Amino acid sequence: MVLFFGRQLEPALGPVRFLVLYLGGVLASALAWLYTAHMPPEDPTLLLGASGAIFALLFAYAVFDPKRSLIVLLFFIIPIKVSVRTLTIFVFITEIIFLRYDFVSNFMQTLFQTPDIQVAHMDHLGGAVFGFLIMTLWRVRATTVYPIVISDSNL
């Protein structure tokens, strides 16, 4: 995801703005997660990963080039062609549904004292909102399509 969206966004934004977008996505997602974590002090929970920054890049790209078509593998098997706008709307709605499920799931796990594995869906939404808002504020749009070329020399 960073390779695909980063190679498109970094030349258009420049290295400083791209770094602000990426690290701002990390910070915004962590703050969103902390706001909703509700963890008791005697049972600290850690947040690990860069998924909030990835969501910031995805949603920033949706503002940058919303009509761009992507081929996505549905269930990792079936290729379907969707626009970036459609993909981000689907991802956002899915995250909200999963977030709602997590609140119910966490309540039931607390009630019945069952083991708990969490995905920080609020973290994803925080990064997504940040990426969307910062790109809307910057008003950067795709005027040049930067080709994505992956070769051994790039690795």
Contact indicator for 127, 52 with CB cutoff of 8 Å: yes
Q: Cα–Cα distance between 142 and 149 in angstroms, integer? A: 18
33-63: burial string, b at 16+ Cβ within 10 Å, e else: beebeeeeeeeeeeeeebbbbbbbbbbbbbb
Per-residue pLDDT of 34-58, as tens digits, reads 777 655 555 556 676 788 888 899 8
CA-nearest of 34, 29, 32 to 46 is 34
pLDDT in the model for residue 130: 92
Q: Cα–Cα distance between 24 and 48 in angstroms, integer? A: 16
**pLDDT surpassing 50 at residue 150:** no
pLDDT in the model for residue 45: 65
CA-nearest of 106, 24, 90 to 57 is 24
| Per-domain boundaries in the chain | 2-35+49-146
pLDDT in the model for residue 149: 46
> Could you tell me the CA-to-CA distances from 35 to 13, 31, 90, 126, 141 in Å, in that order?
30, 6, 24, 10, 32
Arithmetic mean of pLDDT, 99-121? 62
pTM for this model (two decimals): 0.76
Per-residue pLDDT of 111-120, as tens digits, reads 555 555 566 7
Taking residue 132's Cβ as centre, other Cβ atoms within 10 Å add up to 19
**pLDDT surpassing 70 at residue 145:** no
